[in-house]
Structure 1
């Protein structure tokens, strides 16, 4: 800290976020110009980063070693060894105890009379060596890039970037989008109890305006909704079959539920009950479905899937109003789709201005939030005011608010 007379000569150049921004600093990066000597702090940061990269490399190497040698041990166990590392007796049965007497790097020296097995081991060793080499090369590339320095704008010797994470819950005005160009802003958020719900009490997570479908004709979202609904229904049926199997230990119903979904698949038929249950647990929340673009599922296929899942073939369900508890007059399409929150948040967009900067040439207010500009009142907005008959507001927009207005000189009296 600097005190006394000298404090007045020091300018506060602390890095500050704009007003209203709060968050947690998650990372600080220091960029140095290429070819300039680094100071002690920059060297310390570089050392820490290299240590972190080395740790990541070692962790990846450990995972690679563990998986490769576990597979090698599995292949060799129980086989008669014709050759092996120094100290291994010929024609000895290879067991895990025998292998543990030698370093893992020497396990590649074990040989058996099975040519197909030896070919597989050789291919595995080749793949292991290539993966190891790629891992080391990737580490060296990252270290070289770190030590090389950074390309900075002219005149900039060093740059510090501070990354701030801000947690924002979704709110009205935030933009969301699906996978079919079906984008829009959140208009309202209500408690889960007020959302429409199905007969079994399941409430909707999100309600989309049906008027957004016909004119745009992006029917992909309807296909996704129906397939998602069918996939979830099939998953529930498999889940029920697993629960029934655990009580009665009769696998007929379980296999029938799988056959209905996978249509007499050979792989499913070759599985034992334990494998079926393990697979079924992953399918409880929904059966994965893929459909090509131009040669995909037909309407009849989707109807069949919906019926198999115990749902109405139209894909529509009776919904109840969350506030009154009464059913809606018409059935509603329900289903599962992928919705994404986009980086167009209302917190970043909201902007207001009373007076502010004006253009030197036209004397009109500048535009944009960054320039603290005015709101553009376009031709269509003028039509809206005309339709309302708001004459004074319209006059204000076209005159007073349009350019800088010079206030009348004020007289001061003592």
Structure 2
């Protein structure tokens, strides 16, 4: 029958497979109610209780199991009434009709609820796939570097927000991007995608680092021109991206940094922690439109980055995280307490420490990338000493 085929095609909820206890309890009630009815005075009936197991099974076991439970409940009333020769009595007919009507409504509600949940699950998976395309997972190795990343979105149910990171290999070097779009959550994904797209399109070229940063500025500026009414003065002044672009040569113990208004990278060396503050930071991406800045504005700062050192790139979701008393996370003081010889373990220690400081959910998106140079992977013939000579 068509109705049975449709019912059989209904999917059960994820937790329905383990509901044998619920089914056993419902079966016990369905058997016990007619038996108890037989020993009660003629004017007292318990058949209305049978709607309870139907409701419970429909809610927690799905519409198919609810339908089977409803059939069993109706059958129990019919068998008990026939045994007592009251099948055609007014009370029994009312009880049967009430049970059937309520069961149909309960099963229908269960079906609609499960259908809605499946639709939401499909939307969630599609959203996660789309977000995963925007913010791709970083490779664990890039040339002579070990790399690990951590991302925590402030908006519940999202995997990507206003923070970003990316890595690209060029001939003889690795380039990394860490950035933070003004705002957080899904509303900032468009700006995140425009900057990441510009980085992925340009980072593989052999041009100098300022040229790469200029391409990020141009890409973000171009994305603003795609607004329905063009970039208004308000948009120009309020939509921006802080970013730091880093280039790490394979055969030199250095890290070259261009910083556009982003929190300074953190260097862990010989048990100490140092912020790599650039001499001439540039304004955030997008604000360059206000001053007509060009490539020459982006100045490279070079820092020692030798074997065994860790470089931590992060967003202000780390430094601006507050404890219940409003105290900001003390990055430099806490960095020396982090444990882990490899980037992944180091980030795990950092994240656990950060969440312990906040003692609750983060108020902003947080992204962090840890990089460690592996001296064993340097090109043959190159020489790197701890002092950079």
Q: Same fold (TM over 0.5)?
A: no
Larger-Rg structure: 1
Q: TM-score, normalised by structure 2?
A: 0.20
